[in-house]
Structure 1
Amino acid sequence: MSKFSVPREQHESDVSLAELRGDSARMAPHWVVPAEAAPAPAPVSPSLIHGVVVPPASARLMAAAPEYGA
């Protein structure tokens, strides 16, 4: 298995869409779906969701998503 790394001086916001897609394509084979997937859980009302913590890096990634047309 190969390991891919990003130079320390390169930050998340410097990653191009092509690099992000390539990283995702390389990771896809590692995400195995079980043969018998459990039934989808019932939807939960947003008013019942409390205490969700989003890491700063994830928040920055989502904030940058409009750059890619998301």
Structure 2
Amino acid sequence: MTNLKVHSPAPADLEGDLASLRGDCARMAPHWTAPEKRAARPVPLSLIHGVTVPATAARLLEAMPEYGN
């Protein structure tokens, strides 16, 4: 079993509020980088095949006014 030791400038506040959570996030933000943005390309219809939708999901979408009409 590996014992991972984490060194933090401030202890985690498990009972904290939103301000505490935002502070924790602000301290961690420099440790992560966002991936490079790539333009989304449309998928050719010839590559979309074999898609099945369960009947329950189809009925659920059909019952939603923005999708069913």
Normalised-by-shorter TM-score class:
0.3 to 0.5
Higher relative contact order (CA 8 A, sep 6+): 1
TM-score normalised over the length of structure 2: 0.35
Per the normalisation by structure 1, the TM-score is 0.34
